[in-house]
Amino acid sequence: MRALSSEAIHQRILAAIMEHKLPPGTQLVEERLARIFSVSRTKVREAIGRLVHDRIATNIPNRGAFVSSPTADEAREVFFARRLIEPNLVRTVAQLATPRHIQQLRAHVAREAEARTTPGREHELITLTGDFHILLAEISGNSFLVRTLRELESLTALIILLYDAPDEQHCAHDEHPRLVDAIEARDGERAALLMHTHLEHVEHSLKLEPPESSEVDLESVFA
Amino acid sequence: MRALSSEAIHQRILAAIMEHKLPPGTQLVEERLARIFSVSRTKVREAIGRLVHDRIATNIPNRGAFVSSPTADEAREVFFARRLIEPNLVRTVAQLATPRHIQQLRAHVAREAEARTTPGREHELITLTGDFHILLAEISGNSFLVRTLRELESLTALIILLYDAPDEQHCAHDEHPRLVDAIEARDGERAALLMHTHLEHVEHSLKLEPPESSEVDLESVFA
DNA sequence: CGAAAAACTGATGTATGCAATATGTTGGGG
DNA sequence: CCCCAACATATTGCATACATCAGTTTTTCG
């Protein structure tokens, strides 16, 4: 039994965060994790460093690293960036996707549908819907965009965990399949538009209001 | 005299790479750098880790980290990503830029012009033109995009160092000012279009051909 | 002489020990 | 009874020592 690499540890912690096992605010204590994975603090520190670099965790000097709690403003930034990138991305994907790619996409949305209809697999669904967008980046063949999308998806998953309205249907069930339809039809414009509205739907299904919680007007409260 | 933070060391090394002091392929020897900055290897490792994460350096296991030499394919990926992101970015910037922002942009292009006309400041110019694009991201107010653009600009600087045709004018002198004009005129469409062609100009000014150096056909050579 | 093995070199990978820091707690004085 | 100071605790930050590995030179033997 070989020792886990810091990369593997990074993956394990990240997965735990995505699966809601480590909710936002949880401190990632180095020595504790080191014991758990039977490695030294050094490797754990490295893994945590990467999480911090990707904004999944936040470092407070001399205090420790904590699973990030993106503010509503940061959440809006993430969705803004996604709306900036992904519609264009899917437009080009529609042009260069091969039948093999379409097949991959179909298989993926099928897995999403399965996870959606099977009870007790909701957190899996969050990861899966994120993976759909990453898959699109992978089809584009651009490793830089893959990395960017991975980062955005991880943050989005955190945001959904924080701001999801439990009763709200945050991801209309047919938007991903319809996107694949547009891609298969080589209709880049429609795909881009669908992606744009899809991202808007996801964002608006969250309870990100009020715009600025810090802007509570003390004077008016005690008037 | 306080010890430098790993962040400061990261900046110092990055700056050295941008200024062509550490050309692609240079090994970043941890202990040597540690001596130079009067810190332990630990901090240097952290700094190098970040460079590797941002693709500025490349790690070869058990051998060390080296300043990256992006391949022509990777270079094309970078420009593809930039064309995907930056036209849209500048379109929104055109909508929300304040007079103060315009002033900042004007000041920046003035500095660029100065560096261009002063001999012996060419490498400064590469950094400055990159900073222009980062400044645009900062004006958008989106910290995620700032980080993404920073990464793309660092890589672009490396690419220019590697593939620049020395006699070619790789950055037409008036494209940045014209972009600012369009932003000031609140003409998002024109700004987006200018940005797109600007990035195409930069890419095409490089000697990225042939597409695949490994595809030398031995048979045809000795026919 | 030539090739394979062995020792050498220079660097990374990893664990660990200690100092510095933030926070919580306890006890004493006003 | 409350507040502040000193102590106690938990955890990070940093340096260092040692193990490991890749590449290179030297040695040895056919």
What pLDDT score does B209 carry? 73
- Mean pLDDT of the residues in chain A: 90
Distance from CA of B88 to the nearest CA of A (A): 6
pLDDT top residue among A116 and B41 = B41
Whether A81 sits inside 8 A of B152 (CB atoms) is no
What pLDDT score does A208 carry? 83
Whether A27 CB is under 7 Å from strand D: yes
Nearest to A142 among B46, B53, B81 (CB): B81
Whether B177 CB is under 7 Å from strand C: no
Strand D bases, protein C-beta under 7 A: 10-17, 20-23
A169 CA – C1 C1', rounded, Å: 81
Question: Whose C1' is closest to the CA of B34: which nucleotide?
Answer: D15
| A157-167: pLDDT as tens digits | 999 989 986 65
Is residue A137 very low, low, confident or very high in pLDDT (cuts 50, 70, 90)? very high
What pLDDT score does A218 carry? 47
Q: Residue A1 pLDDT > 90, yes or no? A: no
What pLDDT score does B121 carry? 81
Whether A41 CB is under 7 Å from strand C: yes
Beta bridge partners of A177: none
| A185-221: pLDDT as tens digits | 999 999 999 999 999 999 999 988 764 444 455 455 5
What pLDDT score does A125 carry? 86
pLDDT, average across residues A126-153 = 96
B56 CA – D19 C1', rounded, Å: 29
Which portions of chain B are predicted below pLDDT 50?
211-215
Contact status, residue B66 vs residue B58, Cβ threshold 8 Å:
yes
What pLDDT score does B71 carry? 95
Is residue A120 very low, low, confident or very high in pLDDT (cuts 50, 70, 90)? confident
The pTM assigned to this predicted structure is: 0.89
Helices (H), chain B: 6-18, 30-37, 41-53, 72-96, 99-117, 122-140, 143-163, 175-184, 188-204, 218-221
Q: Residue A98 pLDDT > 70, yes or no? A: yes
Whether B6 CB is under 7 Å from strand D: yes
A62 CA – D9 C1', rounded, Å: 15
Is residue A3 very low, low, confident or very high in pLDDT (cuts 50, 70, 90)? confident
Joined together, the tokens standing for residue A42 give 């050094």
Q: How far apart are CA B105 and CA B176, in angstroms?
A: 9
Which residues of chain B neighbour A152 with C-beta distances below 8 Å? Answer: 144
CA nearest B56: which of B122, B11, B112, B89?
B11
Distance from CA of A221 to the nearest CA of B (A): 30
What pLDDT score does A223 carry? 56
- Phi, psi dihedral angles at B102 (to 5 degrees): -55, -45
**Spacing of C-alpha A108 from chain mean position:** 16
Output the DSSP codes for chain A. Answer: -PPPPHHHHHHHHHHHHHTTSS-TT-EE-HHHHHHHHTS-HHHHHHHHHHHHHTTSEEEETTTEEEE----HHHHHHHHHHHHHHHHHHHHHHHHH--HHHHHHHHHHHHHHHHHHHSTT-HHHHHHHHHHHHHHHHHHHT-HHHHHHHHHHHHHHHHHHHHHB-TTS--S-TTHHHHHHHHHHTT-HHHHHHHHHHHHHHHHHTB---SS-GGG--HHHHT-
Whether B40 CB is under 7 Å from strand D: yes
What pLDDT score does B212 carry? 47
What pLDDT score does A149 carry? 97
| A23-55: pLDDT as tens digits | 999 999 999 999 999 999 999 999 999 999 999
Whether B89 sits inside 8 A of A84 (CB atoms) is yes
